Structure 1
Amino acid sequence: MDNILSFFSENLQMVYIVILMIFVGVEVIGHVPSVLHTPLMSGANAIHGVIIVGAILVMLNADPNNYFALGLGFVAVLLGTLNVVGGFVVTDRMLEMFKKKK
């Protein structure tokens, strides 16, 4: 517990930046018109693909005996993959709504 408190006290500016990013992100996403939602969703899926590659690279540099880091990396890759696949499924369903029915 002391390690966590010392981390936050040493990196207080970083914590403030993360909190500010959360508020700015919510405001930006909340004001996006529905016409732009599908292209933005596709862009977000591409960014998450880069995050998966980064998580794999971090896992490759982890110590083989550090099971916590390897497990955390595996969870990051798994959740990132689910996010990418789910995002493309949602984007595909949204694009199906705009097609003409026969």
Structure 2
Amino acid sequence: EDVVQRAVTVVKAGEITWPPPPIQVSAAPQAASPVEVVVEKKKMSTQTKSMFIGLGFAAAFAVISFAPPLLQQHFLVLSLAVVVGFYVIGKVHHALHTPLMSVTNAISGIVVVAAILQVTDSNSLIQILAAIGVLLASINVFGGFAVTRRMLKMFTKGESR
């Protein structure tokens, strides 16, 4: 008999089988393991972290100040998207990450459309990069659909699994 099924069976063939008999443990006790020396990593001080963040902002500001206005606008949108995405995804419960990744198919679909629009550019470097973008975003879309399909199969009844 299966120990798990026996533990949850209340009635079998008209006979009350609850409470189940105590489980017999057949595992041998573990031998004492040697004591491991744990070396703790020294954390950066708040002052050091602040210095690195400040240097990063200074470098980003220096790059942006010499960039064309269109690149400045794109960089602003990118930085806002990174911050918002970090906070949105960071607050999601771990059990919901797979459905969240399924939703990112829409974002990857938008990337595919944008890359397809760039393929028509006259610059050959842009065409190559756009084709690579279409390929990579398509892989993400198809992988996301495969994960979503597999996830939805877990909730279907019957022989269709």
TM-score w.r.t. structure 1 length? 0.67
Distance (whole Å) between structure 2 residues aligned to residue 13 and residue 67 of structure 1 = 24
**Residues matched between the structures, number:** 94
Distance (whole Å) between structure 1 residues aligned to residue 110 and residue 141 of structure 2 = 10
Deviation at 1:101, TM superposition (A): 6.5
Deviation at 1:86, TM superposition (A): 0.8
Unaligned runs of 5+ in 1: none
**1:28 match:** 88
Higher helix share: 1
Deviation at 1:6, TM superposition (A): 7.4
TM-score w.r.t. structure 2 length? 0.46
Distance (whole Å) between structure 2 residues aligned to residue 14 and residue 57 of structure 1 = 17
**2:154 match:** 97
**2:64 match:** 8
Deviation at 1:37, TM superposition (A): 4.9
Deviation at 1:90, TM superposition (A): 1.2
Structure 1 stretches of 4+ moved >6 Å: none
Is 1:69 matched up with 2:126?
A: yes
**SS in structure 2 at match of 1:91:** helix
**SS in structure 2 at match of 1:99:** coil
Higher radius of gyration, 1 or 2: 2
Is 1:49 matched up with 2:109?
A: yes
Q: Which amino acid aligns with 1:55?
A: A
Q: Which amino acid aligns with 1:98?
A: F
Distance (whole Å) between structure 1 residues aligned to residue 111 and residue 77 of structure 2 = 20
Is 1:58 matched up with 2:118?
A: yes
Deviation at 1:73, TM superposition (A): 0.7
**2:7 match:** none
Unaligned runs of 5+ in 2: 1-60
Match of 1:81 among 138, 142, 148: 138
Deviation at 1:13, TM superposition (A): 6.8
Structure with the larger RCO, 1 or 2 (CA within 8 Å, 6+ apart):
1
Go from structure 1 to structure 2 and tell me whether the alpha carbon gap of 1:80 and 1:19 turns closer, same or farther (over 3 Å shift). same
Deviation at 1:79, TM superposition (A): 0.7
